[in-house]
Structure 1
């Protein structure tokens, strides 16, 4: 079945960019991240939002005083996000997992890395490579927070079944310890869709 999926992790997002931006912006940062807000820095920090989409989360974090880098590999989403949240000093970057080659070549490291509704787009080999990439981009005691989507795959999208157990084990292999796990339903009311939120920390 996996061989029938699109090859690009962001397949289907460009054509639906305008509709997706409205969907993403219909719920707030606080609603989406409710279960993990306590894991986020309470003072200005370097934050990386991977798969930033419409920029909703990046803008909310910038408004709190964080220095935010937003990675979005889909040009249509990136342009709309930049336009919608132009008032905030967000550094938008065209880069892509699993390697994030643009960011990996830079010296900056981050206190918090977010991956909201991103991880399930990567296959097993890509997830292994991506976790190594994320661990290398963290400062000492930095944190990774990600969500896993469970449920039916929308037509034209590339998604994989990813368990929390696999993700926790993979993170541990790269020195990231589990801080928090939470389960929740879907904010958009999509039948059969649920989410797991995971927070990890690097060694101090």
Structure 2
């Protein structure tokens, strides 16, 4: 199946600072586990978790360290290489969301899609991606998503909350919670953290 290019791919060299930024933060010993702490709180110990667009691996590695069965997937070869160099024990599949087959890798208690993945998806693929994430869930499973609501990153899109909620509903999911941060601040106009479940 031929997939449309993602906005991340189209941005090319314009997005290379992402991996460098987080490598520097990890090297300094900064706290970069906010997403992982919330994901960990949403599931029991030993949960099966999928990290879509795992980037340089920091969230997936933190969840694995907390005792979860984690599958990471990152289509960008440079970020996969950085992930292997930073977290040697973390296996990362080279797939984007629409290339994941629910019959082969499904049954997740939680699917994590953070780090602005949603505003870098291929144009017009948002509902298809949400439907695929739905199909990857185990019964009772949920999706944790987080992204900037406006196009503040190179090559990204603006994704207003009402449009995202409409896409969620069209994909057979529903919004369980919306927050303004991974520390559960109230919703704001800059960043949104969503917990989704099957409708």
Normalised by the length of structure 1, the TM-score is 0.76
Distance 1:58 1:176, change over 3 A: same
Aligned to 2:63: 61
Gaps (5+ residues) in structure 2? Answer: 183-188
1:198 aligns with 2:199: no
Distance in 1 (alpha carbons) for counterparts of 2:198 and 2:169: 9
- How does 1:2-151 map onto structure 2 within 5 Å? 8-10=6-8, 11-12=11-12, 15-16=16-17, 18-22=19-23, 25=26, 26-29=30-33, 31-32=34-35, 36-37=38-39, 40-87=42-89, 90-97=90-97, 99=98, 101-104=99-102, 106-116=104-114, 117-122=116-121, 125-151=124-150
Q: Deviations over 1:6-39 (max 9, x none)?
A: x54323367446514425634421x3456x4575
How far off its partner does 1:195 sit?
Answer: 1.1
Distance 1:102 1:143, change over 3 A: closer
**RMSD between superposed Cα atoms in Å:** 2.7
Normalised by the length of structure 2, the TM-score is 0.78
Distance in 1 (alpha carbons) for counterparts of 2:100 and 2:120: 20
Gaps (5+ residues) in structure 1? Answer: 1-6, 186-192
Higher helix share: 2
What's the secondary structure of 2:138's corresponding residue? strand
What's the secondary structure of 1:44's corresponding residue? coil
Aligned to 1:164: 161
What's the secondary structure of 1:12's corresponding residue? helix
Distance 1:173 1:9, change over 3 A: same
